[in-house]
Amino acid sequence: MSKDVLQRSAPDNPHSRRKIGQVRDFIAARLAGEPSFRGAVVTDSVAHGDARADSDVDMFLLFRPLDLAVVPGDFVWSPRLERYFGRSEQLPKDPDLLHVDAQRVDLDRLAAGEASELERHLLAGGLLVWERDGSCAEILERVSEYPARLRRERLIDLYYQVNYHLRPAKALAWYERGDGRLAHAHFAAGIDYFLKFMFAWHGAWLTWPNKRVQYLRARPDPVGGFEECLEQIMLVRDFGEAELNRRIGALTQYMEKMESLLQSAQILPPEAPLDFAYGQAHPEIGLRHSMEEWRRANAQRLRKNRAEPKPDK
């Protein structure tokens, strides 16, 4: 999470603004006096500015130490109510009802760098609406940062994984087993890797699987044609070979453009990039290079051996 995210104002959406105001009122009334409560981060639709009138508020409630007895994790509240209500309980008529779906988190756990992929994603796009004595912002920045090393590693690995599932022979082999649905399922696994690959390109932690396409569509298209590619690879008119080849072709075309981009960024080598990525994806076999690199190293070794004096027998 960058400082710009932490310090930005509420999004320009009337429902988001109203709900953020309700959250701050709730904190002032029920949590500000609790010493263990350290801060609150609003996430998802309310933080992103696409909340509806009936949206609940997804958020992190940060504690040091964590005490789950302070506040429920999922509740309905209003300044006129004397207690919390569960979402499944009979709710009173009140125009100011606030439904909160909160993750109650130990701030010390985040400070130690212990956070799930999803937690990092949510915090990176969250809005810090309250903190005590500046105790949260720096920790949230660290835990939501996407390291450059991790981005590079994931791009190389996922580039290989996508291309593995784009090999027609691999996918078409499923027809020999007698089921076109399995062939298309093989390609569908490649789509999953493709979405993860694009998250890595954008330096973004992974969100829920059902929200990944939505997230990527809102990001800049690095090479053009992302929307068209999605439309073609997600469309399945039948389970025949021609349909499979059409889908493979659409994703191959986009990945070829991404390959050139990775090469220009010096993430992939200009020669045999797939061999290189294979070596990175499978370090256990000791192949951290392309075949051409191995041939050069092997030739150099042979020349060195020939140049060295032979020991007397």
Domain presence at residue 135: yes
Task: State which of 127, 144, 161 marks the end of a domain.
Answer: 144
Residue 49 region by backbone torsions, left for phi larger than 0, else alpha for psi between -120 and 50, else beta: left
Domain presence at residue 310: no
Strand partners, 303: none
Sorting pLDDT into bands at 50, 70 and 90, what band is 88?
confident
Domain presence at residue 306: no
Task: Please write the tens of the pLDDT for every residue from 118-133.
Answer: 999 999 999 999 999 9
> 76 by DSSP, 3-state: which?
strand
Query: Residues, the chain, total?
Result: 313
The pairing of strands 98-106 and 57-63 is parallel
Q: For residue 2, what pLDDT is reported?
A: 37
Task: Please write the tens of the pLDDT for every residue from 56-78.
Answer: 999 999 999 999 999 999 999 99
Domain presence at residue 228: yes
Distance CA 154, CA 163 (A): 14
Smallest CA-to-CA distance from 30 within 78, 66, 90, 67 is with 78
The pairing of strands 98-106 and 37-42 is unpaired
Which strands sit side by side in the sheet containing 37-42, from one edge to the other?
74-77, 98-106, 57-63, 37-42, 127-131
Q: How much is the average pLDDT of 251-268?
A: 98
* pLDDT for 48 beyond 70: yes
- Same domain assignment for residues 154 and 85: no
- Same domain assignment for residues 165 and 288: yes
What stretches of 235-272 show up as alpha helix (H) in DSSP?
A: 241-264
Q: How much is the average pLDDT of 159-185?
A: 93
Task: State which of 111, 144, 177 marks the end of a domain.
Answer: 144
Q: What's the 3-state SS for 113-163?
A: CCCCHHHHHHHHCCEEEEECCCCCHHHHHHHHCCCHHHHHHHHHHHHHHHH
- Same domain assignment for residues 95 and 156: no
Domain presence at residue 111: yes
Sorting pLDDT into bands at 50, 70 and 90, what band is 37?
very high
- Same domain assignment for residues 104 and 217: no
* pLDDT for 4 beyond 50: no
The 8 Å CB, 24+ separation contacts for 109-116 are: 109/66, 110/62, 110/139, 110/140, 110/143, 111/139, 111/143, 113/142, 113/143, 115/143
Q: How much is the average pLDDT of 234-261?
A: 97
- Same domain assignment for residues 210 and 289: yes
CB atoms within 10 A of CB 296: 12
Question: How many domains does one find in the chain?
Answer: 2
- Same domain assignment for residues 250 and 275: yes
- Same domain assignment for residues 122 and 194: no
Distance CA 252, CA 259 (A): 10
Handedness of CA 79, 81, 83, 85 (dihedral sign): negative
Strand partners, 125: none
Domain presence at residue 309: no
- Same domain assignment for residues 279 and 189: yes
* pLDDT for 242 beyond 90: yes
Domain presence at residue 170: yes
Q: For residue 313, what pLDDT is reported?
A: 58
Q: How much is the average pLDDT of 279-285?
A: 73
Q: Which residues of 88-120 are buried (b: 16+ CB within 10 A; e: fewer)?
A: eeeeeeeeeebbbebbbbbbebbbeeebeeebb
Smallest CA-to-CA distance from 105 within 93, 96, 118 is with 118
Task: State which of 117, 144, 171 marks the end of a domain.
Answer: 144
- Same domain assignment for residues 136 and 171: no
What residues make up the domain containing 31? 3-144
Distance CA 214, CA 209 (A): 10
Domain presence at residue 79: yes
Provide, rounded to the nearest whole percent, the portion of the chain with pLDDT above 70: 94
- Same domain assignment for residues 282 and 240: yes
Residue 23 is part of a domain; what is its CATH number?
3.30.460.10
- Same domain assignment for residues 130 and 48: yes
Distance CA 131, CA 38 (A): 6
- Same domain assignment for residues 155 and 119: no
pTM, rounded to two decimals: 0.85
* pLDDT for 287 beyond 70: no
Lowest mean pLDDT among 91-105, 226-240, 295-309: 295-309
Return the DSSP state at 68: T
Structure tokens at 39: 């801060």
Q: For residue 92, what pLDDT is reported?
A: 80
Task: Please write the tens of the pLDDT for every residue from 93-103.
Answer: 888 899 999 99
Provide, rounded to the nearest whole percent, the portion of the chain with pLDDT above 90: 76
* pLDDT for 176 beyond 70: yes
